[in-house]
Amino acid sequence: MKESEIRPKEIFNQFLHLAQKDTETYFRDSPRQKINCPGCNSIGKYTFSKDSFDYCKCENCHTLYVNPRPNIESFEDYYTNSPSSKYWATTFYKETVDARREKIWKPKARMITELLEKEIIDYEIIDIGGGYGIFAEEIQKINRNPVIIIEPAPHLAEICRGRGFKVIEKFLEDVSIKDLSKKSKCFVSFELFEHLHNPEKFLLNLNSLMKSQDLFIFTTLSGMGLDIQVLMENSPSVSPPHHLNFFNPHSVKKILERTGFRKIEVCTPGKLDIDILNNNKEKIKDLFWKTFLENSDETQKSRWQTLVTESGWSSHMMVVCNK
């Protein structure tokens, strides 16, 4: 897989340009509160600024996170009304939906199905932040378990209903046990965790909705991943106001254990780290990586990506845990 297949450069750059302008409009006057590391609750150290957002890094668990953090009302206003959010939901997503279905959602559906087939229990699948319902569609094709979507955005919730799915039109933090059935559940969440204003609150409420042995499977960005470590503030993944939390395979276990989860397994199945570096060669300061990218063929780059993925150093991270 290539980055350009799921994030065509022209429209992705336009999205980032709009988001950069929106940070001034929606967050310039927002009250900001200092927070401790969301991973281990230690005090982080200022690392860099990007588009008027300061990022700190925890010297204990190495989580990278926005601090001080604008209030939740500013983010709600941004995601509801901003030009960049509307561009993502319309132009960007429509332009890439077919490629994302093939390259992202079908493989994820197969991966989750394979995990569930190892379990004795039959699980109801709850997709948190189901978006356009593409993952739900794909897993429904190959998995006999029912799928329910939690999606707070009204227009996205309506699209998912139109695809035939039951939708709980709420933020996860507002969902109560009364909204759910009594069946065993597998909660899934993809590329949402890095956006959360308060990850601990999210996890505590999720845990309260789960029964013993219920599963939670999610993907998020690892701040210790290769492309983020090399590029840091120049990384396209470090994109405020969207990405606030960059946990890693060590720190994500800390917050999960603190909020009542167990049997935590973490892997980094990413495929794009080397390609992202290659697409941003002009921003790389490290001499080794500049030399490597300028003098390696596709076979050599592919071998390195396999090594990065299998050794736990990709910036795309997947976590499986239960209550």
Instruction: Check which CATH number belongs to the domain holding 142 and give it.
Output: 3.40.50.150
Query: Are 164 and 140 within 8 A, CB to CB?
Result: no
Q: What is the pLDDT of residue 218?
A: 98
Q: Find tokens 């960059």 and name the residue.
A: 246
195-248 pLDDT per residue, tens: 999 999 999 999 999 999 999 999 999 999 999 999 999 999 999 999 999 999
Q: Which domain does 88 fall in, by range?
A: 3-322
Q: What is the pLDDT of residue 144?
A: 83
Q: How many whole angstroms separate alpha carbon 29 and alpha carbon 233?
A: 23
Q: How many whole angstroms separate alpha carbon 93 and alpha carbon 7?
A: 10
The single-letter DSSP state of residue 183 is S
Q: What is the pLDDT of residue 8?
A: 81
Q: What is the pLDDT of residue 6?
A: 79
Number of domains in the chain: 1
Pairing state between β 147-150 and 215-221: unpaired
Nearest CA among 67, 26, 19, 30 for reference residue 47: 67
Q: How many whole angstroms separate alpha carbon 252 and alpha carbon 165?
A: 31
Q: What is the pLDDT of residue 88?
A: 82
Query: Are 220 and 321 within 8 A, CB to CB?
Result: no
**Helix or strand run (H / E) with residue 86:** helix 83-87
* Cβ burial 50-86 (10 Å sphere, 16+ → b, else e): bbebbbbbbebbbbbbbbebbeeebbeebbeebebbe
| Residue 29: strand, helix, or coil | coil
pLDDT in tens, the chain (323 residues): 788 787 888 888 898 899 999 999 999 999 999 999 999 999 999 999 999 999 999 999 999 999 999 999 999 899 888 898 888 877 887 788 888 899 999 999 999 999 998 887 889 999 999 988 999 999 999 988 899 999 988 888 998 999 999 999 999 999 999 999 999 999 999 999 999 999 999 999 999 999 999 999 999 999 999 999 999 999 999 999 999 999 999 999 999 999 999 999 999 999 999 999 999 999 999 999 999 999 999 999 999 999 999 999 999 999 999 99
The amino acid sitting at 99 is A
pTM, two decimals, is 0.92
Query: Are 243 and 288 within 8 A, CB to CB?
Result: no
Bridge partners for 33 per DSSP: 69
